[in-house]
Chain A
């Protein structure tokens, strides 16, 4: 569903009706879907600006997703947030932020509150490898380990911060080895396989609950599209042809589809589900376009917590 939503974005973005920068998840969806499925209804999630997959995996709500991208009142924030700040409180999506790494301590705070108020509930921060350059990532890791919080760090490791590789930005060879020195459990995955990521996350959750300490998940993945925008930039100088081919050869959606067929599902049944998803997405896009624009009164609403 996430993939189909983004394919739809790629198709209709040039119409210029969604006036918001797009940080696309395409290629990386297995991380969000695997982790959020494993959290089920018992997790709080904070995402980065690359929030589409996380939001859709956590909420399964492409109606308000497309409403928000179109800047309409049926969006997650009445059109005020655009693509970078998707949120949904009842579904445990506590926000996404355009400032790299800024959401990580917010998730730690949610974990802190959960420890007091909702035992067994876990908070997860999604972020890229670039975010681990930032001081606030290390502060957050330190605090959660020192305090023993029910916190899950999920690093979507695509090796790139915009166009710059980890090797260029980081003075250590393995983040995982460094984090292992902290009082938390560390997990790694480079399969791009949603079921493998799901299983790993289930173990991490079990450990967080059993030990009362955080978990750190490093999931290797690959971003298909340009850092911000909807086009493929395979020819850009920072890309590597072998890497591109390697990851596109183990596309997470294709992997899962092949597995379903191998497990005995009929092609026509898979196609039927896909068609159903596509139709629902098109209905969401149509609903977004038909929805009202926010009124001028909306401009000041919420600034200082005044009543509506």
Chain B
């Protein structure tokens, strides 16, 4: 048995590059996207792969989101594994017809005749003046649709393992929402969350605790970890679950945790109405609402399009302070919980070596 040395730490960007490289090393993979072969290579995640594997498989496409998505579906029907990349999740809205009316239903509608194995990579462009049309976090839209598998990788390990699983084992369409603010963060392999299930699409435990269950997505899982670390030093123990796959949630994982803690906070990257928080509440309420000792708390973006002005953007997104405060209130059961809060206005300031525009 040969053993390939794995690096002990990878940035999110490096993980994406590795995932794309490993996918291209398989003969049936095709990558479609605007800018995949230019010198910026989708933020460095496809750079040089066209040269290495051929530009007939790393395919620079016209601006034709709906058409290209349909082309991916057709190629998938005929034995290819297409990966379609959009540098902003917002641009995939032009392709919703193909994704929802075709890709998601192709197998079922034809009585199981077809598989549509494909991966759609979407980048959430939060912060730094990205504004209303370059920053949306659209997971609930996709997760609502039967037939789609929607993931939000929150670490380098989650990228590498999930993309390998998608390409090699999963036979249906996978929508992955990557977070732009994480691209430059480095994740150590030894600190990866624990996978709570059989496949890399399963939920993950970021931190074990008994006072409160924090269910989070994408970059909010990083925030939840920071909040939990802070609170652990102040006598509050958080059970943090990174949802990872928002379309397929293992109810047992949620119920086991809520059963122990009796308190639930959901921190999502998107709007709350009809969102991840609502879905987690459905899971709990349908199974054992009595497990809750206090009303559920959810956090997300303000229910408005994203404003560009920094002064508004800073209050548009929940930050470490609001998250920590919300957890403390929930656990202590009162607003004046007496727990010191970390002082941080804007998460973007912390995570960002990234400073606009792209």
Contacts and interface: CB of A to CB of B under 8 A. Distances in A.
B90 interface: yes
Q: Which residue, B34, B93, B129, B130, has most C-beta atoms of chain A within 10 A?
A: B129
Interface in A116-167: 130-131, 133-135, 161-164
B38 interface: yes
Nearest to B131: A82
A79 interface: yes
Contacts, number: 131
Nearest to A128: B63
Contacts of A229: 357-358
Interface stretch (A93-101, A107-115, A180-188, A271-279): A93-101
Given A20-B308, A21-B356, A303-B304, A81 B38 contact: no
B309 A98 contact: no
Interface string B114-133: 00000000000000111111
A20 B309 CA distance: 8
B63 A300 contact: no
B74 to A, nearest CB: 17
Contact of A170 (B62, B67, B311): B62
Contact of B308 (A82, A163, A168, A237): A82
Interface in B341-358: 355-358
Interface in A224-238: 228-229, 236-238
Contacts of A78: 309
Contact of B63 (A79, A97, A133, A303): A133
Interface residues of B, number: 40
Nearest to B39: A237
B308 A71 contact: yes
Interface majority SS (helix, strand, loop, mixed), chain A: loop
B109 interface: no
B38 A163 contact: yes
B310 A19 contact: yes
B335 interface: no
A21 B62 contact: no
Interface string A163-179: 11000111000000000
B1 interface: no
Given A79-B308, A134-B64, A299-B312, A236 B129 contact: no
A236 B93 CA distance: 30
Bin the interface of chain A by size. 35 or more
B43 interface: no
A298 interface: yes
A294 interface: yes
Given A21-B358, A131-B63, A98 B312 contact: no
A98 B34 contact: no
10 contacts: A80-B308, A99-B133, A133-B62, A133-B63, A162-B34, A162-B35, A163-B39, A229-B357, A296-B315, A299-B312
Interface of B: 34-35, 38-40, 60-67, 90-91, 93-94, 128-134, 302-305, 307-312, 315-316, 355-358
Interface of A: 16, 18-22, 71-72, 78-85, 97-101, 130-131, 133-135, 161-164, 168-170, 228-229, 236-238, 293-294, 296, 298-300, 303
